[in-house]
Chain A
Amino acid sequence: MDRTQLLNKLWEFQHRLGYISKESISTLSKKLNVSTVEIESVVSFYHFFHKKPTGKHTIYLNNSIISDLKGFEDVKATFEKETGCSFGEYGNKEFSLFETSCIGMSDQEPAALINFQPFTDLTPSKVRNIIQKIKNGENVKDFSSKTISKIHYTPDDDKTVIFRNYELGKSVKEGLKFTPQEIIDKIYKSKLKGCGGAFFDVGYKWQSCKRNEDTEKYIICNADEGEPGTFKDRAIFQHLPGLVIEGMILAGYATGAKEGIIYLRAEYQYFKQKLEDLIQEFYTQNLLGKNIQSIDGFDFEIRIQLGAGSYVCGAASALIESMQGRRGEPPVRMWSATKHGFKHKPTVVNNVESLAYASRIIELGEDYFLSMGTKETPGTKLISISGDVAKAGIYEIEYGTSIRELLGIEMAQATAPYYVQVSGPSGECVSPAEFDRKICMEDILCGGSFMVFNRTRDILHILRNFMEFFKEESCGVCTPCRAGNFILNEKVKKMQRGLASQDDVDEIKKWGKIIKLSSRCGLGKSSPNSLIFSIDKFKDYYNLKIAPSNEFQNVEFDMEAAIHEFDSIIKDTQL
């Protein structure tokens, strides 16, 4: 057996038995000729693999901040009451309940995956209904929710790039009229920036992969979409999946790669079959396979690799580790993936949306793309808006659109917006004073997540949710991120209890900088961002949260909390 098959094998066991038993681990370790602890290390890394048996129905309820403000607590309580199980424990034969990080459904929260089928816009009564149906023996697949997101906005017809008419194969057929180098030149000229959050130049990446003389190369479509509040990649897959596949084919043609892999986050496996059917259709039409469109020697295959629940696996280097059947630890950066990527071969990792744009640019021409947006970032961008807005959903906006416009009556219709989180927890928070900032390279970039909070929301509550997220999703390999995020989270807790002084606030900033400076990968380098930014941007709020300092004690010590436990133990044991 090949190590790259490990995740798939583990999924097989997980689906078939409901967990990965000691025997399964031992079988796999023999097949791969590695020690059992090595298989265990992989199993225990991924959120969706279990070492203990789970019930017939595993329920993963999203605990992101958007879910939280749409009623997470009530829904959670109802799940527990109706199933008789508690979250985070293994429950009974029928049900196991777990919380999980954002499942890419922020426009339909609270949402849960039951046996990986989606259930959205949950309310206590809906939950009662669902559990009843399950108890009656119905199959969850038959009554799961429709999840297709609304496209609320596209620019005028002559300015839309993604959400316009799609004809299967059009981009590829158009692209094959050019030489591989011409394709790269076109993408390069269009200045297309990666949409996965790092905004790296797509043309440049393709070029450096092409330049490599190795004959074995890979195109990886990063469909891990883990940044809380993002669901634009899901929208592309549900509305125009063909665009992504064509983008991959074009990337393969341009760089000389023969194999493409879609790394699909496990949360999205409910549309995996549809995607596979479409890939089959591409094969049938000779858009995939051998000698594509009768071009001699142009072969390209696409397969789907399922993730297993890990945010950090969205980071390109960790994603490659994961595809090779390992823990999703971002390796020490010695080379770029375009030199030594998947199986140590030159690899292009592109986000779903980047690939969709690439195929549109080839189809519509780079001049069309260049006629819009800003100088540094031409064209349009997909934004997924959620939170305190009337119209949560997908927006295709021209680069250069202001935050105020996004929040306004023409678009999302936010009510009393106060705190806007751009690009998810690892991005930047924005206060009303900055609503005129524009989404573009020259000002503030947005990876796709755009979460809006109104004046009634508590900022520390939001930040606490973010810190819990990072604490949970840190891969654990490096000290500053593993320990640092834990420590910062403790600080936020302290502030929430009203015990923080100005010193604590200053320390958050200093400590955050240390974590940013010394962490190994993008997760740790960006996790303290929102906390640090919020302190400067929401001064009035923090001033109210800081306890006045006391000359002698100088440190806020919560005596009540410190003796509460003793008092209650005494009360319980003295009868």
Chain B
Amino acid sequence: MKEVSFKIDGRDCKAEKGQNLIEAAKQNGIFIPTLCYFKHLNPLGSCRVCTVKQNGKPIAGCTVSIAEGMDIEVNTPELLDNRKAILEMMFVEGNHFCPSCEKSGDCQMQNLGYETGIRYTRFPHLFVDRIVDARPERIVVNQNRCIKCKRCIEEVITNDGFKVFNFTNRGNQTLVSVDYEQEAKLSEAQAEHAMHICPTGSILVKGKTFGKPFGDRQFDYAHEGQNIPLTDIKKQVKSNKRKMRVATTSLAGCFGCHMSLLDVDLGLLDLIELVEFNKSPLTDIKKFTERCDIGLIEGGCCNTDNIEVLREFRKNCDILVSVGECAIWGGLPAIRNTVPLEDCLKEAYLDSLTSEEGETVIPHHEDIPKILNKVYSNHEVVKIDYHIPGCPPNANHIWNVVKNLLFEEEFSISYPEFKYD
């Protein structure tokens, strides 16, 4: 085989002529993230995460065969942002509730989210209602999580040569459908292989999803020792020496983020030296008594009261931070966003196991907040300055961000503390 020279981001590289760029880059120590590319399969070119520029022209990296003198760009600011954007599109297109996903910690898409440092998505979540198909013999296909990478379509074939999966419909209705007849022919090992190659938690094998407990999974300890810098944080420039004021609240959240706040343990004592709490469940101060430097918001907005409180925070705080998944994009309460409000209310108040027989009244009163048509993320309602992901976010993550914001200290977040679940 002939060896050729080419360039990645200006660096001289060598590889076999005709080798796939993803592999060639890896050999030269450069990692190009992909979600659909899969070893021996022909390049699928469907996820577009690996988009690079070849001699100035954008192209999916997995479809490039190396030739002499190629000039490849991989990690330019434009391409890095593009990569992040495509991942964000995947997050908003499906319904990815990492905290309740069986694959969390083993999910390649989730891991790539950490690696690209996604804290929130620039795009609005689409909340399209998608089905979970448990009819197949061995597997369950959860369309909420499918990113249409096509790996399973090309890779999972029965012993007698039939495809088990295929796309149906088109456009944003496209889904990966299962052929029940063929699926039934799969062996246990073949079914597990299907689950394994799925880069998300879309294909699961019944009874095999918790083989490894959370915390011990392949990406749980990945990149230990590496840090995510917090460079794009807006700094609070203040010269006075007074204690900084912090306010917190929980909107449509579970108080889990507040519990996590307390998890700094003894660190809390140091903290009290530096900051004082104004309006917050921790102090039980109900109304702002002074303007605050920073407001930490847990939970998104599911009713009119949430909106009012959030707006009040925006008025009274210099910097607002969304803390946790629910605040950032709705989180678990947003599971209802794919269901019409009327059905939700009926299920909760009229048809539930605990409602009175023949109940016809959905509670409402001028003093009770109204339920919004869907759960909104906080940045859909007011301007949010910073987002801390996690469910709940790690205590160190929260306080590092707060300290960074208030005291202009340079901090970074260690990888294992950066979580969506």
Contact = CB atoms under 8 A, between A and B. Distances in A.
B170 A476 contact: yes
Nearest to B363: A570
Interface stretch (B250-258, B264-272, B307-315, B386-394): B307-315
B373 A563 contact: yes
Interface in B333-382: 341-342, 345, 350, 360-362, 364, 370-374, 376, 379-382
Interface string A319-342: 000000001010011100000000
B383 A483 contact: no
Contacts of B379: 555
Contact of B82 (A333, A473, A514): A514
A562 interface: yes
A41 B382 contact: no
Interface in A543-568: 552-555, 557, 559, 561-567
B169 A517 contact: no
B123 interface: yes
B85 A37 contact: no
Contacts of A490: 124, 126
Contacts of A471: 171-172
A507 B123 CA distance: 9
Interface string A25-46: 0000000001111101100110
B164 A35 contact: yes
Interface residues of B, number: 71
A574 B363 CA distance: 9
A13 interface: no
A41 B168 contact: yes
B373 A561 contact: yes
A487 B124 contact: yes
A559 B311 CA distance: 12
Contact of A36 (B43, B147, B181, B372): B181
A526 interface: no
B92 A555 contact: no
Interface string A510-552: 0100100111100000000000000000000000000000001
A37 B179 contact: yes
A555 B383 contact: yes
B166 A479 contact: no
A70 interface: no
B172 A553 contact: no
A551 to B, nearest CB: 9
A513 to B, nearest CB: 9
Nearest 10 pairs of A and B residues by beta carbon: A476-B174, A554-B383, A37-B179, A332-B45, A483-B93, A41-B166, A483-B89, A565-B373, A35-B162, A44-B168
23 contacts: A35-B164, A37-B182, A38-B163, A40-B166, A310-B170, A332-B43, A334-B63, A475-B174, A476-B171, A476-B173, A477-B148, A479-B47, A483-B92, A483-B93, A487-B124, A517-B58, A518-B82, A554-B383, A555-B381, A557-B307, A566-B341, A567-B370, A573-B362
Interface of A: 34-38, 40-41, 44-45, 310, 327, 329, 332-334, 471-480, 482-487, 490, 507, 511, 514, 517-520, 552-555, 557, 559, 561-567, 569-570, 573-574
